[in-house]
A and B are shown apart, each in its own frame.
Chain A
Amino acid sequence: MAGFRLLPRLNAENRFFWTSGSDGRLRFLRCEACETFVHPPRPICPNCQSEAVSPATVPGTGVVDTYTINHQKWQPVLEVPYVIARVAIDGAPGVYLTTNIIDCSVEAVEIGDAVKVAFEQHDDVWLPLFEKA
């Protein structure tokens, strides 16, 4: 389901995330003091209030926490159906990403599936999509 995408507006806080795929790696902000992951990105750790938060690489794998098969053409150019999933990110406890599961039939996705990241580049944005591991 390449094709139509609205893209995020990049700023000082989120640019690292949306461009992380340029070297094929998935990164999230992590607190240098207590290792809590901070997502969506903010310049402070919600656990210990340290301001030393910096991007950390995670394995790029995860587990389908839940999902839906979207059938509605919210935009005329959208190709349906497609899977929207919430992926629990391995190595980043408590962090989820809303994403798409690609490169399989929509019926093949199940809660608990192991998935791995597959970036899709649009202009200066690398969207973290996932495929079955």
Chain B
Amino acid sequence: MANPDAYITGIGQSEVGVRLARHPLLLTIDAIREALDDAGLTLADIDGVSTYPGKTAQPPGYSPVGTEDVIESLRLNVRWYNGGFEITSQLGAVVEAVGAVMSGQARHVLCFRTVYEAAALSRPDEYPRPGPGRVDGMMEWLLPFNAYSASNWIAQYAMRHIKKYGLKREQLAQIAITGRAHAALNPRALVREPLTLDDYMSARMISDPLCLYDCDRFTDASTVLIVSAGDALGDVKCRAIRIDAMAYSVERHSWDQSEWVAAYPTGAELWKRTDYKPKDVDVAQLYDGFSFNAVTWLEGLGFCKRGEAGDFLGDGKRIALDGELPLNTFGGQIGAGRLHGFGFAHEAVVQLRGQGGARQVKGEPRVAVATSGGGPLATALLLVRD
């Protein structure tokens, strides 16, 4: 069995909001400071930096801070860094960091994801939208057909699930309703109002079968996770959470050529790399940029069989805080904001340390899973409190 000798030590998060005035680099540094304090480390201890997807100007605010900004601004003395889009989704930045600390290239790696889309869209002078030019790359095959949004792409998988397996909208709704219920207990969550089934069922459609409440919202925030080598834990003054196993995979880089989403093979792969089983998981933080993504993760990770997530979700009791598989205890992206993948690992650490406050799962959870990725790219981490 693989037993990566790597830990998540510090976690940090900036203010979470929409149309924030604070500069995205400063949001990032706010989160870094919190993570360093949390770990009991200083800037001098940091020798690695990892991010997804790296600095990119388009779409506006998607990723306004790159490794260079952080390394330069803080004059970090890094021996290893990584930032890029060509990895299997957001938490891939953590997977890369684990590789770095296990191979001795770094001892403490700052992993960050900064999103600023709400602010950028509200300030087009500072963050211009793309012009009306022609499109290429993956978008060449989507935008000419007015398939603009990931909601259009994920909705097609959701539609197939509904038609093939009988997933009901009332069942899908439980992801959003549960996320909102948990968000109400999270002081940092973006949306803290409760959501009822009536609200959900009467909401306008975005891309059938995904309605308004199936989609996360543009958010301004930065989230930081520090990945530390097992032999560097003497440096830290926190409860370190061990990364027991990880998996990441790609189906097809062309989203519309992929038969199904990568949550399925990635979830299956995760369990080949650990002695733990799905039944050992005490709390699940599953990517829900769209509610349906969490459905595929529930099935892909083997919490239920493929096609049976609708029944598993049922009326939502099973995934509530006091249910058998508490899901997205911080609110998920639908409730806590579009932290874009990093929120899930952040919350897994919170829960495993027992720091969840009003949203803390009872019974001292020991094993958590955190995932990112919604389409043919996917990453899963199994985190354990030893």
| Segment of A19-27, A52-60, A97-105 in the binding face | A97-105
Residues A71 and B152 in contact in the complex (CB < 8 Å), given A6-B144, A8-B140, A100-B146:
no
A5 to B135, CA, bound (A): 11
A125 near B: Cβ within 8 Å? yes
Is the CB–CB distance between A7 and B134 below 8 Å?
A: yes
- Residues 84-96 of A, flagged 1 when their CB comes within 8 A of B and 0 if not, give 1110000000111
Contact of A70 among B134, B204, B207 (CB under 8 A): B207
A-contacting residues, B126-165, CB 8 Å: 132-136, 140-149, 151-152, 155-160, 163-164
Residues A7 and B156 in contact in the complex (CB < 8 Å), given A40-B254, A72-B206:
no
Residues A9 and B256 in contact in the complex (CB < 8 Å), given A68-B155, A86-B156:
no
Chain A min CB distance to B181 (Å): 26
B208 near A: Cβ within 8 Å? yes
Is the CB–CB distance between A111 and B159 below 8 Å?
A: yes
Is the CB–CB distance between B146 and A5 below 8 Å?
A: yes
Is the CB–CB distance between A100 and B145 below 8 Å?
A: yes
Residue of A nearest to B205 (CB): A71
A89 to B62, CA, bound (A): 34
A114 near B: Cβ within 8 Å? no
**Chain A positions within 8 Å of B147 at CB level:** 70, 84, 98
B257 near A: Cβ within 8 Å? yes
Is the CB–CB distance between B152 and A86 below 8 Å?
A: no
A69 near B: Cβ within 8 Å? yes
Is the CB–CB distance between A84 and B145 below 8 Å?
A: yes
Chain B min CB distance to A130 (Å): 10
Is the CB–CB distance between B136 and A9 below 8 Å?
A: yes
A119 near B: Cβ within 8 Å? no
Residues A66 and B156 in contact in the complex (CB < 8 Å), given A71-B205, A74-B146:
yes
Is the CB–CB distance between A86 and B256 below 8 Å?
A: yes
**Chain B positions within 8 Å of A1 at CB level:** 146
B-contacting residues, A21-48, CB 8 Å: 39-40
A-contacting residues, B164-217, CB 8 Å: 164, 204-210
Query: Which A residues are closer than 8 A to B by beta carbons?
Result: 1, 4-11, 14, 39-40, 65-72, 74-75, 78, 81-82, 84-86, 94-100, 111, 125, 127, 129
Beyond A96-B256, A111-B164, list 10 extra A-B contacts (CB 8 Å).
Answer: A4-B146, A9-B140, A40-B140, A67-B159, A69-B208, A70-B147, A70-B206, A71-B206, A86-B156, A98-B145
